[in-house]
Amino acid sequence: MRQFPISPISPMKRRVPDGGTYVFIGAHWRNKIWPYLIPRPRRLIYDFSTFHPKVMTLTTRMPRRLGWPGAELIFVSDFQKRMLRADGVVHPSPIDIERFSPRRARPDGPFTVGRMSRDTPDKHHADDMPLYEVLLAEGTAVRIQGGTQLGDRLEPHPLLELLPVGHLAAEEFLPTLDVFYYRTGSHVETFGRVVFEAMACGLPAVCHSHGGYVDHIRHGENGFLFETTEQAAEILAELKADPGRRAAVGAKARQTVEKLFSPQALEQRLDFYRR
């Protein structure tokens, strides 16, 4: 908002789009009056970030009396596009990777596995509770930002930290980990921004193989994907025992996000809007 003249839409104050390309990000305009009071767009684009086919149907079927062009869809991952079985282009959700840098050597301390997310039940998988307990029993520290609601599901332990959302900025929290671990409950990540932020910090990411990040993780090279809790535990044990492997995979992870969000890649995606 500091860089561009952003203002709320207000037909009464004549603050409305005046033609050209209309881009809707993460929302849609149905049941609003203002679209009928403004010039027709030349192009209509939706950055579609959810898994809700009903919303997608609403946004792509224009009322005839409106006379707007057909909607062009942008998805945040190939995974999302496959799940919805829809046509459109894929633009990864933009991340300012300059905020994140490969971490320097951490101070001496226990091997630390952690994650961050919203502090809601759907962001946490029930099978992760026994996994965390095993890790703690083996002397691994577990650090979860966005995990206060797990307090009644995990016994207190000196190596367990359950932090509230926003306790630390992502670029401050992630470098405190040795490995980033991620699996969700009923919520399915269309993209998985925090996974890429962890990779930008040079962390090996160990993730459940169901989410928007899967198309960018090459198992054993720039990260790890697992199907079962047993597989996850084996991967974490191997990484705990091999700091060199952690560093090598983390370096490849950083290279992946640098390529994904390079100035050239971002410019190419912007060209779509300028077309």
Mean pLDDT of 181-198: 95
For residue range 197-253, list pLDDT tens digits in order: 999 999 999 999 999 999 999 999 999 999 999 999 999 999 999 999 999 999 999
Both 246 and 180 in a single domain?
yes
For the beta carbon of residue 89, count every other beta carbon within 10 angstroms: 12
Question: Which of 91, 108, 142 represents a domain boundary (last residue)?
Answer: 91
pLDDT of residue 142: 98
CA-based nearest residue to 212, from 14, 71, 28, 78:
78
Token pair for 104: 């320097």
Cα-trace Rg, the chain: 21
Residue 243 lies in a domain: yes
Both 218 and 110 in a single domain?
yes
* Residue 127 to residue 185: CA distance in whole angstroms: 9
Mean pLDDT of 147-170: 96
Which range, 56-60, 64-68, 159-163, is most confident? 159-163
Query: What domain count does the chain have?
Result: 2
Token pair for 194: 């925090």
- Contact call for residues 58 and 74 (beta carbons, < 8 A): no
Mean pLDDT, the chain, rounded, equals 92
Residue 206 lies in a domain: yes
Residue 195 lies in a domain: yes
Residue 268 lies in a domain: no
Both 109 and 27 in a single domain?
no
Mean pLDDT of 66-90: 91
Task: Kindly tell me if the per-residue pLDDT of 192 is higher than 70.
Answer: yes
SS (H, E, C) the chain: CCCCCCCCCEHHHCECCCCCEEEEECCCCCCCCHHHHCCCCCEEEEEECCCCHHHHHHHHCCCHHHCCCCEEEEECCHHHHHHHCCCCEECCCCCCHHHCCCCCCCCCCCCEEEEECCCCHHHCCCCHHHHHHHHHHCCCEEEEECCHHHCCCCCCCCCEEEECCCCCCHHHHHHHCCEEEECCCCCCCCCCHHHHHHHHCCCCEEEECCCHHHHHCCECCCEEEECCHHHHHHHHHHHHHCHHHHHHHHHHHHHHHHHHCCHHHHHHHHHHHHC
Task: Kindly tell me if the per-residue pLDDT of 98 is higher than 70.
Answer: yes
Both 44 and 18 in a single domain?
yes
Both 70 and 186 in a single domain?
no
Both 114 and 190 in a single domain?
yes
Mean pLDDT of 41-53: 86
pLDDT of residue 53: 73
CA-based nearest residue to 203, from 179, 219, 227:
179
Question: Phi and psi (nearest 5°) for 43?
Answer: -135, 150
Q: Which residue has the higher pLDDT, 220 or 27?
A: 220
User: Confidence class of residue 48 from pLDDT cuts 50, 70 and 90?
Assistant: confident
User: With left for phi above 0 and alpha for psi between -120 and 50, is residue 33 left, alpha or beta?
Assistant: alpha
User: Confidence class of residue 50 from pLDDT cuts 50, 70 and 90?
Assistant: confident
Percent of the chain topping pLDDT 70: 97
User: Confidence class of residue 27 from pLDDT cuts 50, 70 and 90?
Assistant: low
SS (H, E, C) 140-177: CEEEEECCHHHCCCCCCCCCEEEECCCCCCHHHHHHHC
Q: Name the least confident of 55-59, 157-161, 216-220.
A: 55-59
* Amino acid symbol at 274: R
pLDDT of residue 144: 98
Range(s) of the domain holding residue 150: 97-259
pLDDT of residue 106: 66
Percent of the chain topping pLDDT 90: 72
Question: Phi and psi (nearest 5°) for 174?
Answer: -60, -40
For residue range 102-155, list pLDDT tens digits in order: 877 666 789 999 999 999 999 999 999 999 999 999 999 999 999 999 999 999
Both 112 and 197 in a single domain?
yes
Task: Kindly tell me if the per-residue pLDDT of 29 is higher than 90.
Answer: no
